[in-house]
Amino acid sequence: MTELSPFHLAVPVDDIGRAREFYGGVLGLAEGRSDEHWVDWDLDGHQFVTHRAPGSGPVGHSDVDGHRVPVPHFGLVLTVERFQDMAERLRAAGTTFVIEPYLRFAGEPGEQWTMFLLDPAGNALEFKAFKDRSQLFVK
């Protein structure tokens, strides 16, 4: 697999303080540059930015493996160990999941752990993990 360059993603939040509590406190992301209107976060080496700009959160759903997946959403592919650690961290923080952590496509190509949740501004997040990362794009 080719190593990918870091991505940059920006999302709207309605409250920078709540964003700091969630992304810095609950998810444990390191904070980079910031001001009163935005914060850069280190999302496993990727630049993820929360901008104060009230948004509307998910606008629809797509059915995947018997679950209603919120669309749009964004997330990160993690190691299985990091996925399980993050799931426990989120549970300990009392997070309400849109889709609880579970093993999707069990025994099929692309088998993966996945979970969906909303940040305090209503942005949908997905975190997933593959036991075998070479399965990421397998059909």
CATH class of 8-135: alpha beta
- Taking only the tens place, the pLDDT of each residue in 19-48 is 999 999 999 999 999 989 999 999 999 999
β-sheet bridge partners, residue 92: none
Interatomic CA distance for residues 47 and 41, integer angstroms:
6
Taking the whole predicted model, whether its pTM rises above 0.75 is answered as: yes
pLDDT value of residue 57: 67
* Average pLDDT, integer, range 53-65: 81
For residue 29, give the nearest of 91, 76, 84 by alpha carbon. 76
The residue type at 114: T
What are the distances in angstroms from CA 52 to CA 25, 29, 32, 101, 129?
18, 18, 16, 29, 30
Q: Identify which of 132, 43, 48, 127 has the alpha carbon closest to the alpha carbon of residue 83.
A: 127
Position 137 confidence tier, pLDDT thresholds 50, 70, 90 = confident
